Amino acid sequence: AQSVSQHNHHVILSEAASLELGCNYSYGGTVNLFWYVQYPGQHLQLLLKYFSGDPLVKGIKGFEAEFIKSKFSFNLRKPSVQWSDTAEYFCAVKSGGSQGNLIFGKGTKLSVKP
Amino acid sequence: AAGVIQSPRHLIKEKRETATLKCYPIPRHDTVYWYQQGPGQDPQFLISFYEKMQSDKGSIPDRFSAQQFSDYHSELNMSSLELGDSALYFCASSSLSGYTGELFFGEGSRLTVL
């Protein structure tokens, strides 16, 4: 069965610090990769996704992620975080084509100190 | 733009009672997914439907059942509720015909079992 691993359970940064959240997945075939963000008390919102093509994908709010196939990784980055980025971030993988469901990682809670 | 609508937003039940959650997908979306997110946990896939037929099944307990109706809305029925069923239940929808790979999530229904 596929699985998604997020390396950090809780990350604490000061504003303007750079962010990198790790994500590895286990599935060896073709996958679609996603990062979702969940602000406190809110629903999941898509940050960015990778299907094919350029392995460096850019999302909303200045986030980007790089797909490295050889490492089965899809790490999320942001050069300079803001207090408003405080949220939980979930990496997810979707296999099985268009009808496959999303498998989520355990999530990484990001706390940004003003 | 229309989003995924879930009702009720909050629900409080006693042990052994039943509960029904409803999900109205984005118009013209044909696929509905149900996820359960326990406190501090990642979303766990329960079940999905495509064109009113079950398309995939995850960790849904036998006490739970779901269906998708002709208007594409879906209902999750939960019986013999247990304390451990207390969670946030997310519904998501997507469109296979206009497939972008993204699942659009509703704001969730928070179930508390006392």
> What digits encode the pLDDT tens for the residues B70-89?
999 999 999 999 999 999 99
For residue A100, is pLDDT > 80?
no
Main-chain dihedrals φ then ψ at residue B16, nearest 5 degrees: 75, 0
> Does A42 contact B at CB distance below 8 Å?
yes
What is the four-CA torsion angle of A4, A104, A17, A53, rounded to 10 degrees?
Answer: 70
Distance from C-alpha of A43 to C-alpha of B29, rounded to nearest angstrom: 19
Q: Please answer whether residues B48 and B55 qualify as being in contact, where contact means their C-beta atoms are separated by less than 8 angstroms.
A: yes
What confidence score (pLDDT) does residue B98 get? Answer: 53
d(C-alpha B44, C-alpha B47), whole Å: 10
Residue B98 at interface with chain A, using a CB cutoff of 8 Å: no
**Residue numbers in B near A90 (CB within 8 A):** 42-43
Between CA B32 and CA B95 the distance in angstroms is 9
Residue B13 contacts by C-beta under 8 Å, 6 or more apart in sequence?
A: B19, B81, B111, B112, B113, B114
For an interface test with B, the pick among A8, A44, A74 (most B C-beta atoms closer than 10 Å) comes out as A44
Q: How far apart are CA B66 and CA B53, in angstroms?
A: 10
Lowest-confidence segment of A9-13, B103-107, B108-112 by average pLDDT: B103-107
